[in-house]
Each structure stands twice: as C-alpha cells, then as structure tokens.
Structure 1
C-alpha cells in the first residue's frame, strides 16, 4: 500500500540489541556494546528543523517531552510544491534490501521503479524480501559480509545480529554527515524529530536513518463502537476503571451475542499498562526509592491482572477472547459482538469502515481519551520515534555516502509534496490517478507499486484520508492532540541498551502466566510464584546489569 504510514505498519517495539560479554558472576564487563549516555546522544543527534514546504489541513499540535501530533491532510494539495531543488543523485548504482509485507512486485519492466530512479538520478536496485521471514535472512549476510549498499534493519531483529558490536564494522558512521546542524543541508531529513533518531544511535554515534517515524509516538489505545454506544445511550466519558466496569455491565447482553469487552490486556500487558501505569515491555524499569524495579514486580500489574480476571468472571469479556482466540478479535469488533477493544493506532485509518460497514452501515470507531485506573491525572509512556532504521554499507566511499544522503533526502520528502507523489505512487496516468483530491492506484499501479523505497528513507508519518474517510482523519488528529499532553520519558529512553542474550528467554514464562491469570485460568498466586521464579532464574541478574548501565551511563532522564 503506497500511502502506508508508520502507525499503519507498526506498533511500539522493545529496545532490543546485542549481548555484551559477561564474567562468571553474571555482571557485565566494562564494554556495553550499543549503549549511549545522554551527553553523547545529544552530540550525535541531528538538529530538528520542521519542514515548511507543505501546509497541512490540520497543523501539528505540540505536546510535552518532545511529542507532537502528526500533520493531517484531508486532500492532497492540488499543486504539490517541490521540497528538493537541483540534481539529486550523480548516476550511481546501488544494491538494496528491504522487507515487504505483501506481494513482491516485478523488478524488470516496473514503471514505478523506473520512474523513481529517473527522478533521483541514480539506480537503486530494489530487492524486497518477505517481511515475515526477513529477520532470518540477515544473520547469514552479516556472517558472510555480503550486505547490500543500503539495507533496512528493524529494531526487533538486532538482538540476533550482535548489532551493538557489529554496527561499527559493517555500516557508515553518519555522525560526521548529519549530527547537529550538519543535517540542515538535507532539509527533509532535518524535519525528522530527535525522538525519531534516538534508536539509530549506537555507542555514541549515529548510524541509522529512521523509517516510518512519528512525532506523536503513541502506538495504541482503547477503542469503542461509537455508533452502538450512541444507540445504547452509553457515555464514552470515562475517567477510571470503575467507569469502564460500569460500561461492562451496561453493554453486555450475552443472550443477544454482545459483550462489552474484548481482550483489554494485550500480549505481555501491551495495552493495560496504560491504565495501571506499570510501564511497557520496551521500557520496563522504574526507580522506587533508588532501587530499579521491573514492571513484573509492581503492585500495579497485580491489580491489573485481578481486575481483568474479575471482568472475565463477571461475563463482560467475549467468550472467544476468554478462549484466547486473538485472530478474530478485529472481526468481533467490526461485527459489533464486542464493543470495546485494545489495538494499535494503525487500526484507526478509515480502512476498517469497509469491513465493518458490510454488516453495520453506521459503523463508527472512536477512541477513549486517556484515563487511568484510579481516575487521577493520566500519563502515557513516550514510545520510540521509529522502530526501523536503514543503514549504509561501510565499504561505500565518501562520495557515494553523500550521493545516498541526497537520495535519502528526496525519499524523505513530506506528504503533500511533488516528490512524495513520485516516491509513493510513481508515474501519473500509468501507476495512479487523482480521485476526489487524493491519489488512487491504477490496475497497473496496484501490481507494480509496493512499499519499497520508503523502507530506505521516508518522512515522518502524516494522518491522511484512506477509503474516503475524511472524518476519521479529523477524529484521529483531535485524539492525538489530547494524547501528546500526557507523555513522559521512561528510564533508559533512547539509550539502545544491549541486553545479554541469556536473558532473552526470561519473558516467555511470564507472558504465559499473564495469559492464564488475566483469563481466570489460574489464581493470582500463580503470578506471584512466577515473579519469584523470574527473579531467581535471571531477573535479579538483569537488574544488576541495568544498575551497571545506570552507574556508567545514567538512565536517560
């Protein structure tokens, strides 16, 4: 899908990286590959200079801690301005590798590929690979030193690549090219916020170009069926879990096949941590009286497990969700069988209206404003500004690096620009036509155009109309403007901490226990037993590892 935004592709993911060496006692040695302290991070980050080339229909709203909303557009500008002047490439030819979740387009005779290559004045040999198995393809390339010139590497696969150690040997250090004001010679890259770049910094140096970044960096929320709420006379103005529980009682009608809730927990408590505020899997540590405490050890997650199990016992959760059938969760919401669910922001793009409207012509998704369990002032964790990064092969010359940065600047042209249309839709009249003020792929374009160039460089996400759903854009922009008022930076934010690989299996038993307890299959004592075992089998050693990180590098606060 050519107009894919970051929020339509990814949810927030953990800061995952390679394994530093351990001594016999399990404590890290002096070198912690990947980790960057705040002083070095600030020196490596590019300066931020918002783009002024395109004016959105709904402007960016500022939040706190660097969070802002994404720009929003109701139609594509009638006369798209150019954001790049002069020649881009200098005739070079480069190999690439990117993931692709979808059909692989033809490489030869592809008008879309040819159009973009002509526009950039160079040849990027696009080699998209199946996104599902993409991570499996990378280790052999690293081991054999057969990496392409330009490659996309998702954050979630770096742990399998000893990336914190390998990055300096395999890829170009972009710090001399982009740090501070140096990035301003590439205006479209300078328009990416500092939050977008942080996870591309390793060992105090900048290596990665952020892909599908977002200024808002709020990746998920609780949704409700507004059309059915209105029909039932239910209020969406909820301030606490007591209010949410009242909705459970009001809206559940099992005899009619309707339940108030789907699974509100999410895998590894991915969503309910917003309500009970015990931190995400990406940043699980809190400082309590000078001691690092993991999210699994908090009383808050105990309260969350007890509450969700209570909702299951009360009969407010859809039976398929109780059976842990997650595959049909979206369909249950679309069909009106469950009226409240948790999902990523990518679910709120208007495209689901096509699925929901078949059975419910008045289908309307909406999201609750942020609230917490106790009804106090809520807050939400600032997520990573990007979860994928693109890297240049270290074998490239200085001239080639500069050429690729010029090309990256073109590919990062903002939504609404002339360049964005070319990068995302190709040749007008062949690959796409304009309809109702927005680009629409032709039959040929639907076969040739795929998300490929965008995985090498792209602008920050924008909220745009899909499937003709203009109101969805307005609603989402208003929701974002409220959410960014409540973000906070968690401990170790943006430091690319490299966890030892031996801790990689610690989470699986905990996730399994969460599932059993939240669904009422096991008592809460099973959770406390699991936490005790977690501490004994590596949790306490993991804490020591992070204490060592804190003593050497700080916590990023």
Structure 2
C-alpha cells in the first residue's frame, strides 16, 4: 500500500501545490443553533461553521479499526506508520459482505494525469468487489474549479462529487450546502456501523464534513502534523562534508558555500514554503485566523513573522543561491533536485517515498532526507496544525436511497485500512494485471501505473498512515519527522472547523500569492507588501475580522 506520489513543479501556486499534496495523501492511505452564522437569510444560512456540542450530535460513532496494529502509532498529530511487510496471502477482509447493489452511479472527481478508459480492468475489478457500477466523470484537476462551478450552477449534477477544500470559495462554497444532501440519516451515531471503514474515520475528520449545519461531506482524513518538508540530498551533504543548517543564518551561510554557478550547482529552490514554517506563519484561508495571547484576532498577513519570512526568502534570491529556473518558475524543481543541480527544495511528505522509489534503480547513491524545521533564532519552531480533513465526497440532493447506499458502499470500500484485501485492490489493482509480487512486495507494472491512480482514492480514506513495503525505512522516517515536528505544533482558534466565509470576501486575499512571488524575487518592494496589507484591511479585512470574532464567540475556539 504505497502512495502514488505526485510532485509539485517549481514555484507552485498555492492551489497547484495543495492539489499535488492531496493526490499523494489520497493514495496513501487520512445552546446555539446548529449553524452559528452571522445573519438569517438563505444565503447567510450557508455561511459560518458548526462546532462543539452541536457538531457532536451530527457525527458518526467512532469505532477504531483493529485490522492491523501500526509499528509506529500516531503521536503529536502524526500519521501512523507500518514498517513491516504484509503477508499478502493472509490479508484481512474489512468488508465481509458487498454493500453495493450494482445500481448505476455517476461520480465526478478531479484527476491529475490521463484518466484511464471507461470499463478498464481496474474499475471493473473494484465494481465487482464493492458491488457498485460507477461511471467516472474524471475532470482535469488543474482546472477542476471551473468545471465544478459550472456543474454546481447547472441542473445536472452527478450522483456523487468530490470537492477539494481549495475550491471552497465564492459560489462553490455556498453551493455545497444548497446542492448536496444531509447524510445524517445514513451515518449519524450508530447508523455508520453498517459501514465499518467509515466508522473508523477519526471524529475530527468527520467534523470537517459538516456544511450548513448538516453532515454532508465524507472526509479524507489528514495528519494534523502535516507540513511542507525541506528536503536535502544527504548523499551529497555527506560527500561534501556539509552540516545540516539549524538556523536561517546558518542556512544562508551554507547556501553561499554550496552554490557554484560554474559547476551548475545551486543550494536550493524557492524556499518560501519552508520559510512560513521557520518563522511561524499560519496557513492561508480560514486557518490563517487566530486569537493571540494579547486577545486580538489577526489574519496571517498581519503577523510580523509574515514579513520576516518573505524577507529571509528574498535574501536567498538576492544572494544568488536559488537556481535560476526556480527564480523564473520554470521546469520541475524535483528533477533539478534528483539531478544534483539543487541540494535543498521543499515539497509535500509524499516526495520522501516518491523520489526514493524513482531513483532506486538509476541512481543507487541517491539519499533524500527531511531537514528538521528550526525557529527564526535557531531554536524551536512554532508550527500550526493542518486541518484534519480537506477533501470530501458529497452526494447530490434528491438522490434515491439506492443511489445513496451505493455511493456509501463505494466510499466504505475506498476507506479500507492498511492490511486488508480492499486496501490492496484500491492501491494496487489486480495481481497479474496491474502488479506482480517480488520478494513479498507488490510492484506495479505499466498498466498499474496508468490505471491505478486518483479516482477511487478520492472517495474516502482511512486514518492517515504511511506504509511502503519496498522501502519501509522511508515510512519510519516520515512518521518520526512528523512526530518530532509535531512536538512544536499549535492549533489556531479555527482548528477543526469547516468554515464557509461570506462570498463577498471570496477574493479579498487573492492578490497576496502573486505579490509574495514577486517580492521574494526582487520585483516588488517591501512597501508594496505593506500597502497590500493596509488595503486588505480597509477593503474588507477588518469586516471579515468582525465576522470571525462573532463566529468564534458563538462557537468557541478550536484550540
């Protein structure tokens, strides 16, 4: 059960970076009214969040899976880890009886890459095992928001739709409540026990599936100790005698030493994503809000650390230690990393396995390691917890009971835990068709790599875990890195809340991503960033702050 890693290109946009991370994560595999909103009209009733006791009443009962005990249990918000080989001859069964009835079901999902043809062996095998009959309407993940918006605005919505969190903006966010059904009658409380794999999804993840005061989304769980990893070429560090930097100053000093344009070696790629963690800047979107020790509610761009992170990243560019293609935002930073043209770059956790596997045959000396994140003074960092879920599958309003039950059957199959026949089929396909077993380890062939991707893993997932039978030490390193970094984790006031902001604020922060890109490359001035922050406040930021303050006052803080 090895993830199909997807790497982000150089200088990714926030959306494309989240998308690549999501695909990799998916393949691993996780006294007030019910809606406390700021207003009473139909549109406003879709805004806000549901938390506390109100949310607890809506959640499915939690029944932990006992199929396979992890070698490395979750700690400090980490994923769990499995470092031993699974006996493929004795895989457990998590769905002893087919829950699907074979009724037809249409599902729309984002897809990165080339979708396999309808009726391919992978889809056929899963339909046969789960008792489903799915027609997949796979859409290009890079432009999924456009298609999703158009579909939700129409009168023809597929039976089941996958909605990634980064698309929950503007009209799409409000349409989720208007267009998708309340699953409470099927899943709330003990009702979920009909679907044992869904019952094993952590409650924090389910809480993120509450939209508009009802349980609508089947979540894909994520480890809260999830951050972008600063990867380094340990083999080259060892060869050159480099010490791993432990502060921003040490990093810059090392980077100058390691860079040789003549030798076509640069220290790093664009490190802005790591800079956010080093300097303690909160994530974007709703999780960017927090109440500080002074009692004031602020957004991430108002943190002093926000400018400090940008200034440090700019120093790297100014010093000439960033690869020219990273500065130009062209090509693939991952390829530059494996070629030894850059020695450090940031990417999601899946890259640890993805690059190890990719380079194993052609570059046996290649060793990738994750650098521990340090604080701005070289001490401990302040890291903010990721939300416990960020992708959902939802069922359209008006769907028949038969359609709902078949959709839930598919999701339950997709959420099968590690060490089961169902997980094996979802992740690897059919033995002999999509993979072969070598030394007790499943290895995909070309057909497996082209068909066994995306789709099914987007419907639901078990609690977050890492398991790589071919490279078990990578799973250990991934979990242990998360556990070490998780010791410095804080939760924001909006942690664990699925918040739908009023649509009038949808584009309020949109200018910052491009501004950040331009500033660190020397194309904008610090005064430009400061002016943008002031404009953000005056053009709606202060009003949005008032909205969040009212929401938190009513619902309580997430931390």
Q: Same fold by TM-score, threshold 0.5 exceeded?
A: yes
Number of the residue aligned with 1:4: 4
Alignment RMSD: 3.2
Query: Structure 1 residues 41 and 129, CA, compared in 2 at 3 Å: closer, same or farther?
Result: same
2-structure distance, mates of 1:250, 1:47: 56
Structure 2 residue 62 is the aligned partner of structure 1 residue 48: yes
Matches within 5 A, 1:209-288: 209-211=218-220, 213-236=221-244, 238-266=245-273, 271-282=274-285, 283-288=287-292
CA distance in 2, matches of 1:140, 1:198: 27
Given that residues 139 and 160 in structure 1 are in contact (C-alpha distance below 8 angstroms), is that contact kept between their aligned partners in structure 2?
no
Q: Where do residues 134-149 of structure 1 align in structure 2 (5 Å cutoff)?
A: 134-149=144-159
Cα deviation, residue 442, structure 1: 4.2
Q: Distance in 2 between matches of 1:30 and 1:390?
A: 23
Give distance in 2, aligned partners of 1:36 and 1:28.
16
3-state secondary structure, aligned to 2:169: helix
The equivalent position to 2:321 in structure 1, one of 316, 328, 336, is: 316
Q: Check 1:490–1:7 CA distance in 2 against 1; reply closer, same or farther (3 A cut).
A: farther
Task: Decide which of 401, 414, 417 is 2:417's aligned counterpart.
Answer: 414
The answer to whether the Cα contact below 8 Å between 1:46 and 1:182 also exists between their aligned partners in 2 is: yes
Gap change, CA 1:50 and 1:242, over 3 Å in 2: farther
Q: Relative to structure 1, is the Cα distance of residues 537 and 403 closer, same or farther in structure 2, using a 3 angstrom cutoff?
A: closer
Question: Any stretches of 5+ residues in structure 2 without a counterpart?
Answer: 9-18, 24-36
- The answer to whether the 8 A contact 2:4-2:354 is kept is no
1:332 aligns with 2:336: yes
Name the CA shift for 1:474/1:309 in 2 (closer, same or farther; >3 Å).
same
Q: Deviations over 1:387-441 (max 9, x none)?
A: 2111122223445534543442222111221112223333332333222323233
CA contact (8 A) 1:491 1:555 kept: yes
C-alpha separation between the residues in 1 aligned to 2:455 and 2:463? 16
Is this contact kept in 1: 2:105–2:403, CA < 8 A? no
- Between the aligned partners of 1:550 and 1:127, the Cα distance in structure 2 is 38
Q: CA deviation at 1:264?
A: 0.9
* 2:184 alignment counterpart: 175
Q: Distance in 2 between matches of 1:310 and 1:3?
A: 35
Cα distance in 2, alignment partners of residues 156 and 522 from structure 1: 26
Rounded to whole Å, the distance in 1 between the matches of 2:49 and 2:540 is 21
CA–CA distance in structure 1, aligned partners of residues 291 and 170 of structure 2: 29
For residue 169 of structure 2, what is the aligned residue in structure 1? 159
- For normalisation by structure 1, the TM-score amounts to 0.86
Structure 1's 92 and 33: CA in aligned 2 closer, same or farther, altered over 3 A? same
Consecutive unaligned residues in structure 1, runs of 5 or more:
14-19
Distance of 1:380 and 1:12 partners within structure 2: 20
Q: Does 1:301 align with 2:306?
A: yes
- Report what 2:137 is aligned to: 127
Q: What is the distance in 1 between the residues matched to 2:53 and 2:20? A: 29
TM-score, scaled to structure 2: 0.85
Residues 107-137 of structure 1: CA deviation (Å, up to 9, x unaligned): 13x2322222221223222332322333222
Paired residue total: 533
| In structure 1, C-alpha distance between the alignment counterparts of 2:113 and 2:275, rounded to whole Å | 31
The corresponding residue for 1:531 is 533
Matched ranges for 1:61-76 at <5 A = 61-63=74-76, 67-76=77-86
* Preserved CA contact (<8 Å) 1:188 1:413: yes
Could you tell me how far 1:297 is from its partner in structure 2? 1.7
- Give 1:217 deviation, angstroms: 4.6
Residue 459 of structure 1: which of 458, 462, 465 is its match?
462
| Counterpart residue number, 2:15 | none
Deviations 1:139-160 (A, max 9, x none): 3332332112222122222325
